[in-house]
A = this chain, B = another copy of it.
Amino acid sequence: MSTIRYSCEQLERFCCDAFEKFGFTKEQAAQITDVLLLADMYGITSHGTHRLVRYRNSIKRGSVHVDAKPEVVFETPISAVIDGHHGMGQLTSIFAMNMAIEKAKKVGMSFVTVRNSNHFGIAGYYTKMACDQGLMAIASTNTESLMVHTNSKQPLLGTNPIAMAMPAEPYPFWFDAATTVVSRGKLEVCNKIGKPLEEEWAVDENGAVCTDAARVLNCFINEVGTGGILPVGGSTEEMGSHKGYGFAMMAELLTAITSGGLTSNHHRKRVEGQGSGTCHAFIVIDPAIFGDPQEMKDHLSTLLRELREAQRANPDVPIYTHGEKEILSYEDKKKNGLELNVTTVAEMVEICNLLGMDSVEYLGDVDVSEAKLFSYEKKK
């Protein structure tokens, strides 16, 4: 499938204007755009502009309340519980992470949880906010229920990513991973480009391993109630399925259990006027509570260098530390622009039409006839 190249600035202008047209303020539109574009710039295609069509759907049906304001419903000097009131996940999460950062700077460590939010983009955006200020951070979210836990054929847990970041040279440690083998976004990308799934990524409605992306996605879209994505570690305990399942549970505890929000298996799916009920967690630690932050940064930088310089199993495959690929991708895209696949561009053209934006002005006079449009909505 062909791709179309855009500069970061062009995509930024499109996203900012689109979110303003959806009803967000200029500042809010810029915040949401920043989260989405970082994902694309970092090469995490599944969480960038590819997601726009689903955000549009959520806003259209009122699952995302454009005017919502996050409310602090419980607070101590080191913690807070925030009700997102069905607002855009990115806005609520930036608010929550800023609060966590402020608290950690005062008392050394903090834990802010959020309920009644929506999809927040990449978890690592928020850990980066803290890391950019010299702090360690962990962020997590639960999601719509997509993970079949070990030996279940019902998807009751989310893809539940856990992210952690800490300053280091020449790049920070920046880890962000779904606790499923892959995220739903990866399945969507496979489906868009017509690529079969790997074995042990997902199971069909009968609980059998399945490599057909559309079949698994249809389980979700049509709310079949069975079929889903496997935990990291796959389907058997021998290969660590219960470990991926356990890390997903950690995410569930940190987000939904602490915030009193909905666990993934109770998220609302495409209910008109109501948000998904997504929950998030933001933990910030000031390294100064353990001594000299510069010493810790040097210590970590040394470890990361040693890991990168290890003897390779296959000499032709480089060894990366977490966040390194993302920095390389960022630098490349800042210079050379981003390639979007034609289906994503077609979805953006549709959004222009919906919002009364001139698609040729924003996206150029593109040929999107090759696009393979996919409905993310339940069939009527």
Contacts and interface: CB of A to CB of B under 8 A. Distances in A.
B153 A79 contact: no
Contact of A246 (B108, B153, B177, B258): B177
A164 B249 CA distance: 10
A257 B150 contact: no
A41 interface: no
A360 interface: no
Contacts of A123: none
Interface residues of A, number: 85
Nearest to A233: B232
A325 to B, nearest CB: 9
Contact of A239 (B198, B203, B287, B296): B198
Interface in A196-229: 198, 200, 203, 207-208, 226
A111 B207 contact: no
Given A291-B81, A295-B260, A154 B310 contact: yes
A156 B240 contact: no
A317 interface: yes
Interface string A137-180: 00000000000111111101100001010100000010101110
A108 B296 contact: no
A292 to B, nearest CB: 9
A244 interface: yes
Interface of A, helix, strand, loop or mixed by DSSP: mixed
Which of A259, A289, A302 is most buried by chain B, counting CB atoms within 10 A of its CB?
Answer: A289
A113 B290 contact: yes
A299 B258 CA distance: 9
B238 A232 contact: no
A234 interface: yes
A75 B145 CA distance: 41
> What is the total number of copies of this protein in its complex?
2
A303 B246 contact: no
B307 A152 contact: yes
A306 interface: yes
A322 interface: yes
A259 to B, nearest CB: 7
A265 B232 contact: no
A240 B233 contact: yes
A290 B79 contact: yes
Contact of A244 (B232, B310, B319): B232
A258 B296 contact: yes
A59 B282 CA distance: 42
A74 B136 CA distance: 18
Interface in A293-327: 295-296, 299-300, 302-303, 306-307, 310-314, 317-322
Given A79-B108, A179-B243, 9 more contacts: A79-B109, A152-B310, A152-B312, A173-B249, A182-B240, A207-B311, A256-B303, A257-B300, A260-B291
